[in-house]
Amino acid sequence: MAIRKLVAAGLTAATLLGTIGLAGCGSSSSDQEENPSSIKIWYYEENDSALGKAWSQAIDTFEKETGVKVEFEQKSFEQIRQNASQILNSDEAPDVMEYNKGNATAGLLASQGLLTNLDDYVSQYGWDKIITGTLADTGKYNDKGVMGSGSWYGITNYGEDCVMYYNKDMFDKYGIAIPTTLDELTDAMGKFVAAGVTPLSEGVAEYPLQHLWWQLVLMKADDDFIKAYEMYDGDVDWTSEPIEYATKTIKDWVDKGYISKDSTGLKAEDAGQNFINGTYPMFFSGSWWWSRFTSEMEGTNVTFSTFPDADKVVGSSGNIWVIPENSKKKDLAAKFINITLSQEVQDTMGNDGGLPIAADADKITNASDKEFIESFDNVLKNNMLGFYPDWPTSTFYDELNASLQELVNGTSSVDQVITELQDNYNKGVEDSGYKD
């Protein structure tokens, strides 16, 4: 009897504590601290990466300009991905941090009221003049957390896009020219197959093949299709040409031997490694590989181009800076964000192999990096960014990989794959409640 009472008392206490905790969440007002002496900044980029170097320079500049001490912590991507909402809902939240763009991440937190609305800072600092077009879409979220419209919640300061990487030495060895059009690309792949070399490095277990699939969709897609697919603005027609074309082309390329059937179990890291060690002469993937290829393939002639004949390419803004609603030093946080967009910081990023959005091309000293940035500048100028295929729902990344695996190893036909994708997409969008 006594023990039962004890258990009951314990449960009551636990429930009580729980309710107090919940009440605490709601009442967090954002009284701003006057003349703060320190500011907490988090990001999860490697120290020796382009972003890491640029941002640590931004921290130095910030400390010099404001005299405020920066308490910086390099967090792990996993920790932020899994626990961002719990951390931001507590007193442990930083004052400004890097966060993943997209509906399921920044959009969700914005809709929960955990992120600060940055509209005032945007007009104060004129950020909307630097971040324009498709770059801006990933910083704005509506009240449901859908990107593309509404208020500003995140500010990016770099970009990323997918390009075709070529191992020029292998092309030369087989006497094949680097393709500049889609026809030349398929020709080149055919020649490699004839010479007994599988041309495309792929990893279907992770993002590489779905990025290629989306690039092929973008070859035929117009803005309306992309808006419908990414921002639920209208219905996605899964029987339309872009989807049919992309899925059929992948199947065709597998049948012709351009893509190895053995790549179904490979991850992105494997696909990258197979390109680095010269097993395959081509790899379609993101700009995040660039600095690795230049440093780890020394002695090999690596070139790149945006996908031949493409008007839209896979890519978007980089991750975004957000200011948690619980921060008591928002003005300083905004000042820091502004420094990351400054010319000097952007140039540093460009010189280390990153893709700055406001750099001065003349300040980039390394010729190949400069070429890489100019290619991206061109993408920005022509508003060519077409986002990523897995953004619409939180489970679509895995579902897309699974369907493409079936396509590549031949267990599903093109039509079966499209139907499966359509079902998963519709179910995911419905479950998320983004659409009325």
Partner 1 sequence: MSTAIVNSMDVPDVAGGVTGGGIALPEGNSTTPRKDAGYSMTPDEYKKIAHVKKNRTVGDWVIIALLILGGLIMLFPFIVLLLNAFKTTADYNSTGPLSWPSSLSFSGLETFWNRVNFPQKLWNSVWTSGLVALFAVILSMFNAFALGIGRVKGRRWIILLIMLANMLPQEALLYPLYTMFKAIGLYNNPWAIVIIFTVIQSAFGTYLLSSVLDTFPKSILEAATIDGASRWKIFKDIVFPISKPTLSVLMVFFFIWTWNEYMIPLAFLVDNSSQTIPIAVSSLSGDRLMDVTTTAAASLISILPTLVFYLIFQRTLSRGVTAGAVK
- Residues that bind partner 1 in the complex, under the rule CB under 8 A: 3, 7, 14, 17-18, 20-22, 24, 44-47, 73-79, 81-83, 86-87, 90, 92, 100, 205-207, 267-269, 272-273, 276-277, 286, 288-289, 292, 296, 319, 397-398
Contact (CB, 8 A) for 95 and 59 = no
Shortest CB 9 distance to partner 1, Å: 14
CB of 227 to partner 1, least distance (A): 25
Tell me how far, at minimum, the Cβ of 292 lies from partner 1, in Å. Answer: 7
Strands 151-152 and 155-156 turn out to be unpaired
Nearer to partner 1, 90 or 342 (CB): 90
Please tell me what DSSP assigns to residue 40. Answer: E
Smallest distance from partner 1 to CB 281, Å:
16
Q: Are 434 and 394 in contact (CB under 8 A)?
A: no
Residue with smaller CB distance to partner 1, 18 or 234 = 18
User: Which C-beta is closer to partner 1: that of 215 or that of 338?
Assistant: 215
Nearer to partner 1, 84 or 217 (CB): 84
Taking the complex as a whole, how short is the minimal distance between the CB of residue 276 and partner 1, in angstroms? 5
Shortest Cβ 73–partner 1 spacing (Å): 5
Q: Where are the alpha helices (DSSP H) in 46-103?
A: 50-66, 77-88
Smallest distance, partner 1 to C-beta of residue 360, A: 27
Instruction: Output Rg (C-alpha) for the chain, integer angstroms.
Output: 24
DSSP secondary structure letter of residue 362: G
Contact between 321 and 97 under an 8 Å Cβ cutoff? The reply is yes
Please say which residue, 120 or 269, places its beta carbon nearer to partner 1.
Answer: 269
Residue with tokens 């009897």: 1
**Closer by beta carbon to partner 1, 14 or else 367:** 14
Q: What are the CB-based long-range contacts (under 8 Å, 24+) for 298-304?
A: 300/167, 300/168, 300/169, 301/167, 301/168, 301/169, 301/172, 302/165, 302/166, 302/167, 302/168, 303/165, 303/166, 303/168, 303/178, 304/163, 304/164, 304/165, 304/166, 304/372, 304/375
| Residue closer to partner 1 (CB basis): 11 or 361 | 11
Q: Are 204 and 410 in contact (CB under 8 A)?
A: no
